[in-house]
Structure 1
């Protein structure tokens, strides 16, 4: 189901004495219209059905609402338009229809020249986001190649059995690429050995996926990681960026289905994210797994909003 934007969520502090330079997102954002000029379009995916199927802690369906509240007071530091494109919501546990609708909505936004920033919701969001990118590329960029960069403690390469879930999206994408005769270019950053079985690592190798484990991402090894990210990006034309918030330490990001026992520190994540954004190749970004029921005084929501702020400024500059 497609829900219209609830603009009541966008409210906050105003500093009228500072003029436009003192404005925040809630003062700039407007509901997306059919004839809206290209800009940043915030789209929610209100789903935790994939998490439920994956035997995780449900609650991520409330993520888009709380993330909007957390983003409302972000400084409006770019001049391009900012829109709320509403939500796609799962109804009656019909995840597959919701993912298809998300894909259609993402394709519409891309066709309109917008940059979609999609807020989850469980990581089943990735298969819906990909469907939208694939449709857009078939119509307008058939000759280009896509790379997927996933910041995540989990590979999410499980085989759907008996059904798809938040743990299967990249396997599903790999299968779609195979059917379409397209390469599966996938880089997972932050995979945790205690959160992925040998079967998943073997599957990643069989599919040609690249994996950088969380224990490899250190301050003294950051330059090597940045070089590997750059090499991956150089080999593709477009990038789909997806950030699973469980990639961060549990102390920073408790509000997820499966909190990390180690995780990637925010101070190392941010330069990696900048390297991706500075490529100019990112066509869509989403954030997954935020579950406000397990937040502590909105700490995790504020961290997620900071990441959204970095993404928005990276692509809108």
Structure 2
């Protein structure tokens, strides 16, 4: 299929074992996007977004298109602690060829919708944060079909509420695009960003956040020591929504933990805080779908950022099935 590349099974590798002990033994790579032929039952559906045109449009440093396979390679060697009967299916990557970003996002949205509607829990591997626009719209369409309200929780240093450039979306605009689309279509959607850094967001974006009814917490308040306040805010937000789309932008972490991102900063939150949030959301029973974005392998150090992405995914899923 144009703009789709299947994952080679050997991408998933790790320590050999006669019984299933590691992720690489559980993942099955699917050659196409014909999700309707897959057997029934609860499944994990992995899809890569090997695109960084949105980062380029947002004047970031490119390289995120190589992220999905870097995350897969880090995930493959992880110990497996999910149910034995759970199918884990890797549907490959949406890739950039001669198509426009808008065409690629249309394909991505349709594919995520198919994944949701065929009883998968989707795991999206980015790629630029422009992935959030098709991902969020697919989640919004799914919840709207069930008369539910979608909540978007974004762990990020940036609001990503910027206006499109000359009508073109980018990695800094996805949540504004979602909120405006929801308003136009009279659909119910709320947005909460944790990890906002004032040095990375001009006052105009704080005004946009206020005008769109967005929720946020600043980076210095996103600590384990301040967990009760964070928990109270999460409780208040969760009480207003039925389902959660979780987006983890790796540049929300301090560059001490995540050097390989499109926009690194030494001032972000640490993994202990992020894991508290991930566990809380997983145990809320409202988590519908998730993505991890903005890994840039070209700038990673000893694969530490790719491993962080993999661990965030594994931890969330383990708590989801606890």
TM-score range, shorter chain: over 0.9
Structure 1 residues 1-317: aligned runs within 5 Å: 1-16=3-18, 19-20=19-20, 23-32=21-30, 34-37=37-40, 38-79=42-83, 80-92=86-98, 94-138=100-144, 140-141=145-146, 143-162=147-166, 163-317=168-322
Matched residues in 2 for 1:107 and 1:75: separation? 29
Q: Answer yes or no: is the 8 Å Cα contact 2:282–2:317 preserved in 1.
A: no
How far has the Cα of 1:15 moved from its partner?
3.2
SS at match of 2:254: coil
C-alpha offsets along residues 253-281 of structure 1, whole Å, 9 cap, x if unaligned?
Answer: 01111102310111111111111111111
Structure 2: where are the runs of 5+ without partners? none
Moved more, 147-156 or 298-307: 298-307
Matched residues in 2 for 1:251 and 1:86: separation? 30
TM-score, scaled relative to structure 1: 0.95
C-alpha offsets along residues 24-70 of structure 1, whole Å, 9 cap, x if unaligned?
Answer: 11101113462233311111000100000000000000000111011
Q: Which runs of 4+ in 1 moved over 6 A?
A: none
Query: CA 1:189–1:123 in 2, change beyond 3 Å: closer, same or farther?
Result: same
SS at match of 1:106: helix
Matched residues in 1 for 2:99 and 2:170: separation? 11
Matched residues in 2 for 1:41 and 1:316: separation? 15
Matched residues in 2 for 1:229 and 1:92: separation? 42
Q: Answer yes or no: is the 8 Å Cα contact 2:143–2:243 preserved in 1.
A: no
How far has the Cα of 1:93 moved from its partner?
5.9
SS at match of 1:283: strand
Q: Answer yes or no: is the 8 Å Cα contact 1:49–1:93 preserved in 2.
A: no
Q: Answer yes or no: is the 8 Å Cα contact 1:184–1:209 preserved in 2.
A: no
TM-score, scaled relative to structure 2: 0.93
How far has the Cα of 1:174 moved from its partner?
1.0
Q: Answer yes or no: is the 8 Å Cα contact 1:159–1:168 preserved in 2.
A: yes
Q: Answer yes or no: is the 8 Å Cα contact 1:151–1:243 preserved in 2.
A: yes
Task: Name the count of aligned residue pairs.
Answer: 311
Q: Answer yes or no: is the 8 Å Cα contact 2:256–2:266 preserved in 1.
A: no
Query: CA 1:108–1:48 in 2, change beyond 3 Å: closer, same or farther?
Result: same
C-alpha offsets along residues 168-216 of structure 1, whole Å, 9 cap, x if unaligned?
Answer: 0001001111111123300000010100000000100010000100011
